[in-house]
Structure 1
Amino acid sequence: MRPLVRAAALALLLAAGPVLTGCVSAFTVAGPEETSSSAVVPPSEPLSPVPSPSPVAGTVTVRDFAFDPADLTVRPGAVVIVTNTGTTTHTLTAQDGGFDTGPIAPGTAVSLTAPSRPGAYSYLCGFHHFMRGILTVA
């Protein structure tokens, strides 16, 4: 095998190793040291449902150096998706420091959890302070 091809094949195996390990571990067979007492027995009572994360309560889109909508009302602890459709990195940052998405690259989206305390929270873009809005938690 040529050295360049060999190096590329090795790099591919090293990069795929963790992924392949996860795949293989899902198909492992119990070893001889494991006994039948470790088998999973179905519960006699139904399991209680696992609480799901808060549903998305709203979306704010960054368009042309503006938040759309600039004013959004959500419930305490609600999830808001912030999508940057522009060509520049932005943030959605509470002026009181209560929440901050961090940098949102163009073409990406992040989630933001609204504060648990009701109130009106003024926010802005940390890079472009003229971009402003209000997140009302009620």
Structure 2
Amino acid sequence: MLVRLRSRPPHMVLTIAGLCMLIVLVGCSSSGGPAPTSPSPSAPSSASVSEERIVIKHFRFEPVDLAVAPGARVSVVNEDSAPHTVTAKAADAFDTGTVKGGETATFTAPPAAGTYRYVCSIHPSMTGTLTVR
């Protein structure tokens, strides 16, 4: 017994193939809703991170006035190409020594509360204030 298969017209084959591709594409696409994500770690708030730092830039101290806790470590970042210092006007309160251009130095804030004026001993027009409280 011989079964004769009818051939389908070409437009019918193309229609069926197109529908199959459409089903595959719809099945692989997103539902439109947001994808589930895991919570990302949050950055520490500025209230919890104390930035005891003086940046030297364009022959200026930034910030000009800085408040810190007694005994805090203060970083001094020299972004100029010229050397600078952060030297307290009060004898022996703090002094970074010479900080070359592009380098960083640190000093310890005095243990006693108060206002300490400082200067760049190389460029005396550069001044700032460290308040210890």
Equivalent residue letter for 2:76: V
The alignment's C-alpha RMSD in Å is 1.3
Counterparts of 1:133 and 1:87, CA distance in 2 = 20
Counterparts of 2:50 and 2:124, CA distance in 1 = 26
List, as ranges, runs of 4+ consecutive aligned residues in structure 1 with deviation greater than 4 Å.
none
What's the TM-score, normalizing by structure 2?
A: 0.61
Counterparts of 2:105 and 2:50, CA distance in 1 = 12
Q: Structure 1's 69 and 112: CA in aligned 2 closer, same or farther, altered over 3 A?
A: same
Give the structure with the higher percent helix: 1
Please show how residues 4-15 of structure 1 align to structure 2 within 5 Å: none
Aligned residues: 84
Runs of at least 5 residues in structure 2 that lack an aligned partner in the other structure: 1-48
What's the TM-score, normalizing by structure 1?
A: 0.59
Match of residue 136 from structure 1? 131
Match of residue 72 from structure 1? 66
Match of residue 125 from structure 1? 120
Match of residue 115 from structure 1? 110
Counterparts of 1:56 and 1:71, CA distance in 2 = 15
Deviation at 1:57, TM superposition (A): 4.6
Please show how residues 18-57 of structure 1 align to structure 2 within 5 Å: 57=51
Runs of at least 5 residues in structure 1 that lack an aligned partner in the other structure: 1-54
When Rg is computed on C-alpha atoms for both structures, the one with the higher figure is: 2
Match of residue 53 from structure 2? 59
